[in-house]
Amino acid sequence: MLYELALFGAVGTGLWVAFGALGGVRRSAALADLVALGITLALWATGELVIRFAHDGSGILLGRRLLYAGACFLPVVWMRLAARGAGAEWVRRRRWALTVAAFPAVLFYSCLYWDTEARFIGWNEFQPAVGPWFWCFAAYGWALILIGTYYFVALATRHGAARPLRASAILLGAMLPLLANIIHLTSGFEGHDLTPICIALGTILLRFAVIDAGLAGILPRARRDLIEQLDSGVLVSNLHGIVVDANPAAAHLLGGDGLVGRSLQAVLECVPDDPSGATEVREFQVRGVFGEVGRCVLLTDRSEARRIEQQHLLAQRLESLGTLTAGIAHEVNNPLAFVRGNLGNLEEFSKVLSQQEVRRVLPPALRDAAAEVPDLVSELRDGVDRIARIVTNLRSFARPEQTGGRGRVRLTDVAERASLMASVALTTGTIRKGYEDAPPVVADEGELVQVVLNLLVNAIQATKGETPIDLSVATARGGACVRVRDRGCGIPEDVLPHIFDPFFTTKPPGEGTGLGLSLSFELVNRLGGTLDVSNTADGGAQFEVWLPAAPDELLPLEA
């Protein structure tokens, strides 16, 4: 009775392994091996039980067919599972080898349906007679079991020094079934066949030492369902460094599928080489009952976070620049007020000097100088007015929130303010203007000034201020546009597709953040417009900001 209970335990073990695998992992080749091991074990033990409780020849025949359905195919599954656990290359590269190994098993098993002369084994005898084909089958099965045992022993040896508990479990689980079957066959089939019971014990040991340890490349479904939904890429490898699972985020970050089965190091070489370090890579051990069971790599796309961080840093810099600019404007306004006051007095003096009766009494040497005083005063007035306009624009640029948010804006005003600030250090005529009467647009004037100023500064840097830059405003596509054209060397064709990418810059390190055009592009898009770039036929590049015309129902422009 104890033997029958042990057989029931073996059936339960086989079903536990098979259904536990089906309910715990996704479909994979490693899953098929594990399920097949559980099913063949359950069939073998079930066949033994049916034979034990059979009362006639038909019951014995049914039991024998069940028994050998497991016994014939279990060696193939055993060898394949062991080879997969040991990381044998032929398991992946030579799949036809499994078909070749399984063909004799199909042939021997078929004898239970047509061999009436017991060349293989007696069908319906409790103590069956065996023929010569049986010993061929035994040699074939032992050969496969020995190959599998070799792989298990190699696996145990490989991990023996660092993980003695796991190595011992692998050795014991691999040797028990082989020894039990040899004892049973060499004893002339006398007594109980302990092979299925030892296979059950070995399966339990191997499940924890090989399957649950990750050597067979299987992940429980609960873990896999979790990593499938993560935004971060997840790569899981076994102890041999072979990727056994990868979630969709990892495939997206690494540019394609087909990651499972490849070397983890080879896969990590596909991580985009981003100078800004936008893709963060973290690698750590995955540990189980028997110690380390593999490696896990987390791939996190930090580009959005870094973009926000850079925008925050840029905003802080702009805030500091705005504070500094406002201070400079205030400091310039103070002496400018004195200059204007004194200039008014000088204008009155020039009017007196321009009177004929005054000039007659002046010495001849002063008469010519007195005649030039009104022109000098007029030029001084023009210069002071220009300084005042620049200061006003600087204060407006430094405090854009004072503009009151979005409203109807004329691009001619935007272009003029941007050109005044950009041309401070340029010679007269460097920025050539051409304004048409374009319809107003809806925007924050301060933000648009920043966009156009950024385009002008880029054009000045591209030409080093040595060639003219065209700044024009025109009507286009039912809206208005601002065009900034330089006569530099143009933009290389391989750079054009990336010109608006965050962090992309062709400037040397420390001279650009790669955010100016990106932020301008994003701002124009938020306004419902477009920011385009192209190379011109006669050299140089042209940027065009287009915005839709403001609806008529909006409030009119302020005077």
Q: Per-residue pLDDT tens for 460-475?
A: 888 877 788 899 999 9
- pLDDT tens, position by position, 471-521: 999 998 889 999 999 888 888 887 777 777 766 566 654 455 556 677 788
Residue 479 token pair = 């809206």
pLDDT band per the 50, 70, 90 thresholds, residue 402: very low
Q: Are 59 and 203 in the same domain?
A: yes
- Please report, as a single letter, which amino acid is at residue 62: L
Separation of alpha carbons 341 and 106, rounded Å = 111
For residue 217, what pLDDT is reported? 47
Q: Give pLDDT, residue 380.
A: 79
Give residue 472's pLDDT: 93
Q: At what angle do helices 57-86 and 29-53 cross, to 10 degrees?
A: 150
Share of the chain above pLDDT 90, in %: 5
Q: β-strands 279-288, 541-548: how paired?
A: unpaired
Based on the fold, state whether residues 118 and 227 are members of the same structural domain: no
Same domain, residue pair 85 and 206: yes
Residue 88 lies in domain: 2-211
pTM to 2 decimal places: 0.44
56, part of any domain? yes
CA distance linking residue 516 with residue 500, whole number of Å? 9
Are 33 and 154 in the same domain?
yes
Averaged pLDDT of the chain: 76
Average the pLDDT over each of 45-49, 213-217, 366-370 and give the range with the smallest value: 213-217
For residues 56 and 123, membership in a common domain is answered with yes
Q: Which has more confidence, 165 or 441?
A: 441
Instruction: For residue 410, give Cα distances in angstroms to 204, 446, 551.
Output: 79, 12, 13
The CATH number assigned to the domain holding 554 equals 3.30.565.10
Q: Which of 301, 332, 367 is the last residue of a domain?
A: 301
pLDDT of residue 484: 92
Residues 15 and 162 in one domain: yes
| pLDDT reported for residue 203 | 77
Asked if 382 and 417 sit in the same domain, the reply is no
Give residue 292's pLDDT.
Answer: 72
- Tens digit of pLDDT for each residue in 102-116? 888 888 888 888 888
End-of-domain residue from the set 355, 380, 398: 398
The alpha-helical segments, DSSP class H, found in 399-498 are 411-422, 445-463
Q: Kindly indicate the confidence band of residue 79, based on its pLDDT and cuts at 50, 70 and 90.
A: confident
Strands (E), 226-366: 233-237, 243-246, 279-288, 291-301
Counted domains in the chain: 4
What is the mean predicted confidence (pLDDT) over 534-552?
87
Report the distance separating Cα 94 and Cα 30, nearest Å. Answer: 15
Our measurement of the distance from residue 229's CA atom to the centroid of its chain's CA atoms, rounded to an integer in Å, reads 14
Residues whose CB falls within 8 Å of the CB of residue 321, separated by 6 or more in sequence, listed in order: 398
The pLDDT value recorded for residue 77 is 85
Closest CA to 453 of 423, 480, 498: 423
What order of strands is seen across the sheet that includes strand 233-237?
Answer: 243-246, 233-237, 291-301, 279-288
Residue 431, φ and ψ in degrees, nearest 5: -100, 110
> What's the average model confidence in pLDDT over 133-144?
87
Q: Kindly state whether residues 251 and 365 are assigned to the same domain.
A: no
Q: Cα 396 vs. chain centroid, distance in angstroms? A: 41
Looking at 279, 301, 323, which one is the last position of a domain? 301
The pair of three-digit structure tokens given for residue 236, joined into one six-digit string: 């899981």
H helical segments located in 218-284? 221-228, 248-253, 264-268
Same domain as 201, residue 171 = yes
| 258 assigned to some structural domain | yes
CA distance 147 to 86: 12
Q: Does one domain contain both 32 and 95?
A: yes
Within-domain flag for 216: no
Domain of residue 247, CATH code = 3.30.450.20
Instruction: Please state the rounded mean pLDDT for residues 438-461.
Output: 86
**354 and 366 belong to one structural domain:** yes
**Residue 156: inside a domain, yes or no?**
yes
Please give the pLDDT value at position 551. 83
Q: Tell me, what CATH number does 164's domain have?
A: 1.20.1070.10
DSSP, collapsed to helix, strand or coil, labels residue 407 as strand
How many Cα atoms occupy the beta-carbon half-sphere of 410 within 13 Å?
12
Which pLDDT band holds residue 179 (cuts at 50, 70, 90)? confident
422 within some domain: yes
pLDDT at 559: 39
Whether the per-residue pLDDT at 48 is higher than 50: the answer is yes
pLDDT at 71: 87
Q: Is the pLDDT reported for residue 277 higher than 60?
A: no
pLDDT for 473 equals 93
Taking phi over 0 as left and psi of -120 to 50 as alpha, with beta for the rest, 492 belongs to beta
- Tell me: do 328 and 420 sit in the same domain: no
Strands 441-443 and 407-409: antiparallel
Summarised one tens digit per residue, pLDDT across range 294-314 is: 788 888 777 667 667 766 766
Residue 336 reports pLDDT greater than 60:
yes
Closest of 142, 109, 113, 135 to residue 188, by C-alpha: 135
Task: Name the CA dihedral angle for 118, 119, 120, 122, rounded to a multiple of 10 degrees.
Answer: 10
Structure tokens at 216: 């067979």
